[in-house]
Amino acid sequence: MAETVAVLGAGSWGTALAIQLARGDQQVRLWGHEPDHVERLSQLRENAEYLPGFSLADNIEPLTSLAEAVSRSPWLLIAIPSKGFRDLLRQLKPLIAMDTVLFWASKGFEIETGRLLHEVLEEELPGHRYGVISGPTFATEVARGTPAAIACAGSNLKATEMFAEMLRGDHFRVYTTDDIVGVELGGALKNVLAIAVGASDGLGFGANTRAALMTRGLSEIMQLGTRLGARRETLMGLAGLGDIILTCTDDQSRNRRFGLAIGQGKSVSQAEIEVGQTVEGLRAARAIYNKTRKLELDLPIIEAVYQVLYEGKDPRQAVRDLESRPQGRE
């Protein structure tokens, strides 16, 4: 049975997810906060700015009115940068019914508080069923319909299975879990690791260094994730290891490209401009570093990324400091 889903966020990822939902015959309302951009979506039936080359099906309706987008939409899928997550929830509060189910594809933490996004939602919209999707997926390839798989975690088993079924397709697999913390953390932490790997490649180091950073970075993600309540199998799955492999090795990743620019000598602001879109790992690095300090965890790669991005440390010196650490057990 087809459902109506409001996709909130008309960037590359929101548009790709709208295309995927439309393949399953869902009625999709694609909301964007920039009227001119949404008007072009409606006229061209294509997201020429962020996801060119893919036509919007007839069952995708671009809208500029948030109230109109969510009215009579029992399902919401939020696909905006995490920094705007709480503000959007506050806008939604007077517009949605208590039985509205909210999922999100946003990755990262709330920087000011260090909270995961499900914690933000529980504060702003208590009582709603909710969930998160994450995994090794680039927007362009999802829009193209190449084979892919993601994880979908939710607070209610029935709602999670229903939403997963809406997203599933011939070439798009969706695996469900109740480990919301694990799926959220995997999506946030891999971005920081992708910056580290990108910077290493930008410095001219080779495949050996890349493999070492990814492996030891995964170890740090496992340490932090399990301390925060994530399950190891989730962090070793699509939302963790799978997304690490994707974002650390392919230049479609904004975070990897950002790291490459840093390694090539660009400043943080120059690297952001070069990427041209939100770099979630830049903001997540600070929130994650603060969490590691509070938990008294020794996570040297995460700390090195923070120092390079926020303390002006030279990337080569960061590498030298990592190399000079005492040898330890695997």
| Alpha-carbon Rg for the chain in angstroms | 19
What are the tokens at 274?
A: 């070069």
Is the distance from CB of 186 to CB of 221 less than 8 angstroms? Answer: yes
3-state class (DSSP) for residue 212: helix
Beta bridge partners of 31: 8, 63
93, 190, 266, 294: the active-site residue? 190
Longest CA pairwise span in the chain (Å): 60
The helix (H) or strand (E) run that includes residue 176 is: strand 172-177
Expressed in angstroms, the distance from the first to the final Cα of the chain is 50
3-state secondary structure of 274: helix
Spatial distance between the Cα atoms of 308 and 97, rounded to a whole number of angstroms: 45
Give 49-56 contacts, CB < 8 A, sequence gap 24+: 50/10, 50/11, 50/12, 50/15, 50/139, 50/277, 51/11, 51/12, 51/15, 51/16, 51/139, 51/140, 51/143, 54/15, 54/16, 54/19, 54/143, 54/144, 56/15, 56/18, 56/19, 56/22, 56/30
Sort strands 148-154 and 172-177 into parallel, antiparallel or unpaired: parallel
Q: How far is CA 304 from the centre of its chain?
A: 22
The question of whether 190 is a catalytic residue gets the answer yes
Q: Hunting for tokens 């070439």 — which residue is that?
A: 171
The residue behind tokens 């500029």 is 64
Instruction: Name the nearest CA neighbour of 306 among 270, 276, 282, 328.
Output: 282
**Which active-site residues does the annotation give?**
190
